[in-house]
C-alpha cells in the first residue's frame, strides 16, 4: 500500500459536507457488462472504478485493522480434508434459512450505507434484485438507499430487514410497522454497533463518515429486553447480529432469537477482537440446536464458505465482496460474483469428495500453517501482485 501523505491543512467549515464519501462519487466511468472469469477480476475492477476514499471506506477496518486481519488469518489457518473415489457428478449446495430454501449457502450481508455510497442512485435495489434472481437471501439495512420499502418493492420475494436503533421506542415501533407492511420476512437487529468504530483510513484521509441519521445514543442504550418487545411488536422471526461469544449466544436464544448471527462487523468495530471463525464453534455449542446460525467475517473465497458450513453455520454472509462486485459491475456484477462463488464452492466440494452441504462437519477441517501474511485482499494473489 502506498505511504499515506499528510493532507494539507483545510478549513473545518462545512467539513461534514465536504468529507462525506457519498459526496465523492466513483470515478467517471459506467461499469461495462461484466465478463469476469474469477473473483480476483471483480476486485481488480472495483479498485479501478472506485475513488481512493470509497475504496478505503469499503475495504478498511477499525484502528490497527487487527480484527480485520485476524478474520482472514484464521480462515487461512484452516485446511480442508479430501476423500477420493466418490461419485461427485451431482453436488447439492442448497441450504435453508427460517424454512425457506436457498439455492446457495451465501447471502448478501446488510451493508446499506456502503452500497448507497457506491451506487447513490439505486442503492440497495440492485442488491435485492441480484439476490432474488440467484435464489439467495439479502439483508436490507435501515440505512439503505433509496429506502427499505423501495428495496422490498423492487422484488417479488420477501427480504430480511436489519435494524439500527436511531431514535426512541415510538420511532422503532413505526419502523417495525413499516417493515411488516413492506413484506419483510424477518427482523435482524444489529447489536455490535453501540459505538461507531474508528476507521482510520477514513479519518486520515479526512473522509470520516458521520452517523448518517438519527441519534446513536439510542443504540448505545439497547438491552436484551428490547429485543423481546421488538419481536412481539413485529411478529416476525428474530435474528441477532453481532454475537461473538458463547455467553451472548445463550442470551440471544433465551430472549427469543430464531437465528444467531456471528459477526464482528468485518473488523470495522472492535479492534483486537477474535476472528469470527474462531468463535463459531463455541457459539454452535452454546446454541445447541435451539436456533439457526449465520456467520460472516472476511469471506473472499468459496473455500471460506465451506469451512464455516463445516463448523456449524447455516449460511455465510458476503459484505466487502458485495461492495466490490457492485462497484465492478452494478447489479450484473453482483449476479456474476454469486455465480463465481457457487462455482468455487461446487469445485471445492467435488475435490473434497462431498456431495451436499449436509455432509460437512468439523471433521472436514484441520489446523494448518498459513502460507503468507493476511490482509483484506490476500486471498487474491494476482490482484496483490498487480496492485
pLDDT at 118: 84
Q: Grid coordinates representing 220?
A: 448505545
For domain 48-386, give its CATH number from 3.10.110.10, 3.20.20.70, 3.40.50.300, 2.60.40.10: 3.20.20.70
Half-sphere exposure of 19 (CA within 13 A, CB side): 20
DSSP of 158-201: --EEEE---S-HHHHHHHHHHHHHHT--EEEEE-S-SS----HH
Number of Cβ within 10 Å of residue 220's Cβ equals: 11
Q: Grid coordinates representing 151?
A: 428495496
Among 80, 66, 137, residue whose Cα is nearest residue 304: 80
Distance CA 235, CA 249 (A): 21
Cβ pair 239, 257 in contact under 8 A:
yes
Distance CA 102, CA 76 (A): 27
Q: Grid coordinates representing 127?
A: 442488491
Q: Grid coordinates representing 304?
A: 471460506
Q: For 87-92, which contacts have Cβ atoms below 8 Å and span 24 or more sequence positions?
A: 87/355, 88/349, 88/350, 88/353, 88/354, 88/355, 90/355, 91/346, 91/349, 91/350, 91/354, 91/355, 91/356, 92/355, 92/356, 92/357, 92/358
One digit per residue, pLDDT tens: the chain, 387 residues?
A: 333 333 343 433 333 333 344 444 444 344 555 689 999 999 999 999 999 999 999 999 999 999 999 999 999 999 999 999 999 999 999 999 999 999 999 999 998 777 777 877 788 999 999 999 999 999 999 988 899 999 999 999 999 999 999 899 999 999 999 999 999 999 999 999 889 899 999 899 887 655 456 788 888 999 999 999 999 999 999 999 999 999 999 999 999 999 999 999 999 999 999 999 999 999 999 999 999 999 999 999 999 999 999 999 999 999 999 999 999 999 999 999 999 999 999 999 999 999 999 999 999 999 999 999 998 899 999 876 554
Q: Please list the active-site residues.
A: 265
110 by Cβ neighbours in 10 Å (0-12 / 13-18 / 19+) ranks as: buried
Q: What residues contact 93, with CB distance under 8 A and at least 6 apart?
A: 103, 104, 105, 342, 345, 346, 349, 356, 357
pLDDT at 210: 53
pLDDT at 214: 75
pLDDT at 222: 93
pLDDT at 177: 98
Amino acid at each position: 500500500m502506498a505511504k499515506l501523505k499528510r493532507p494539507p491543512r483545510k478549513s473545518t467549515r462545512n467539513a461534514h459536507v465536504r468529507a462525506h464519501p457519498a459526496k465523492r462519487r466513483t470515478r467517471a466511468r459506467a461499469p461495462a457488462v461484466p465478463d469476469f472469469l474469477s473473483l480476483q477480476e471483480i476486485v481488480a475492477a472495483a479498485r479501478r472504478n472506485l475513488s481512493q476514499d470509497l475504496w478505503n471506506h469499503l475495504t478498511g477496518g477499525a484502528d490497527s485493522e487487527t480484527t480485520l486481519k485476524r478474520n482472514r488469518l484464521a480462515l487461512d489457518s484452516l485446511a480442508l480434508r479430501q476423500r477420493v473415489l466418490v461419485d461427485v457428478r451431482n453436488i447439492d449446495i442448497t441450504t435453508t434459512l427460517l424454512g425457506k430454501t436457498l439455492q446457495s449457502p451465501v447471502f448478501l450481508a446488510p451493508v446499506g450505507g456502503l452500497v448507497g455510497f457506491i451506487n447513490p442512485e439505486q442503492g440497495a435495489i440492485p442488491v435485492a434484485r441480484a439476490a432474488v434472481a440467484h435464489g439467495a437471501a439479502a439483508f436490507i439495512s435501515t440505512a439503505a438507499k433509496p429506502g427499505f420499502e423501495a428495496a422490498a418493492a423492487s422484488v417479488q420475494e420477501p427480504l430480511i430487514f436489519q435494524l439500527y436503533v436511531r431514535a426512541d421506542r415510538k420511532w422503532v415501533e413505526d419502523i417495525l410497522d413499516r417493515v411488516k407492511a413492506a413484506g419483510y420476512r424477518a427482523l435482524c437487529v444489529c447489536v455490535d454497533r453501540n459505538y461507531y468504530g474508528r476507521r482510520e483510513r477514513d479519518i486520515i484521509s479526512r473522509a470520516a463518515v458521520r452517523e448518517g441519521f438519527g441519534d446513536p445514543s439510542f443504540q448505545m442504550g439497547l438491552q436484551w429486553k428490547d429485543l423481546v418487545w421488538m419481536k412481539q411488536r413485529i411478529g416476525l422471526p428474530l435474528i441477532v447480529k453481532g454475537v461473538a461469544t458463547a455467553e451472548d449466544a445463550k442470551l440471544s436464544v433465551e430472549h427469543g432469537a430464531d437465528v444467531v448471527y456471528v459477526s464482528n462487523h468485518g473488523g470495522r468495530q472492535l479492534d483486537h477482537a477474535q476472528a469470527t471463525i474462531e468463535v463459531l464453534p463455541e457459539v454452535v455449542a452454546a446454541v445447541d440446536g435451539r436456533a439457526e446460525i449465520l456467520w460472516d467475517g472476511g469471506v473472499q473465497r468459496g473455500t471460506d464458505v465451506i469451512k464455516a458450513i463445516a463448523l456449524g453455520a447455516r449460511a455465510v454472509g458476503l459484505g466487502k465482496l458485495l461492495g466490490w462486485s457492485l462497484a465492478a459491475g452494478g447489479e450484473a456484477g453482483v449476479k456474476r460474483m454469486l455465480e463465481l462463488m457457487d462455482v468455487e464452492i461446487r469445485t471445492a466440494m467435488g475435490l473434497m469428495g462431498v456431495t451436499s452441504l449436509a455432509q460437512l462437519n468439523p471433521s472436514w477441517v484441520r489446523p494448518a500453517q498459513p502460507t503468507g501474511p493476511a490482509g483484506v485482499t490476500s486471498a487474491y494473489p494476482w490482484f496483490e501482485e498487480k496492485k
